[in-house]
Amino acid sequence: MKQTFKLKKGEVLFDEDKIIIKDDAKKQKWMLSLIICLGTIYGIATFLKYFKTGDNFDFWYGLIIGLVGILTLILWLLRSVRSEISLNEVKSMKVRQRNGNKFLDINLKNNRLRRVIRVDNEMELKEYIETNFRTT
C-alpha cells in the first residue's frame, strides 16, 4: 500500500501505517505567524493611539485590525505541521481546490488540521484516498 504523490515542492508518501509529508510547512507557518503578529501589534498600537488623539478612525481601524489579527493567529496556530502522521490519528482526508490552488486537508482526531499545499495530481490522489481510506 506504499504510494508516493508529488507536490510542487516536496512529496506525500502513504506508507503501511503512516503518512510522511515532505514540504516546507514549518517555515511557512512561522513566517506567516510572524506577519500576523506584526499586523496584530500594528492594530493594537493604532487602537491605543485613539486614546491620545481621540480620532474615531484610529479607534475602529485599530479595533478591527487587532481583533481580526488575534482571531487569525489563533486559527493559524491550530494547524499542524507534523511531517509524520500515524493513520490511526487521521479522522478524515479530502482533496480540495480553492482559487486554482489544489491541496490535501488531513483532519486529525485531536481537531487539528494538516494542510498539504500545491498538490500536482489531485485526481490521482483523490482516487487513491477514496479507494484506500474511509473518508467522512
Q: What is the pTM of this model?
A: 0.77
Q: Per-residue pLDDT tens, the chain, 136 aa: give them.
A: 688 888 888 899 998 889 999 998 889 899 999 999 999 999 999 999 999 999 999 999 999 999 999 999 998 888 889 899 998 999 999 999 888 888 899 999 998 999 998 888 888 888 888 888 765 4
- The CATH number of 3-23+83-132 is 2.30.29.30
Please state, as a whole number, how many other Cβ atoms lie within 10 Å of the Cβ of residue 18: 14
Q: What angle do CA 91, 13, 34 make, to 5 degrees?
A: 70
In whole angstroms, give the CA distance from residue 136 to residue 134.
Answer: 7
Count Cβ atoms within 10 A of the Cβ of residue 122 and give its class: 0-12 exposed, 13-18 middle, 19 or more buried.
Answer: middle
Please state, as a whole number, how many other Cβ atoms lie within 10 Å of the Cβ of residue 61: 17
CB 124 within 8 A of CB 132: no
Domain positions in the chain? 3-23+83-132, 30-77
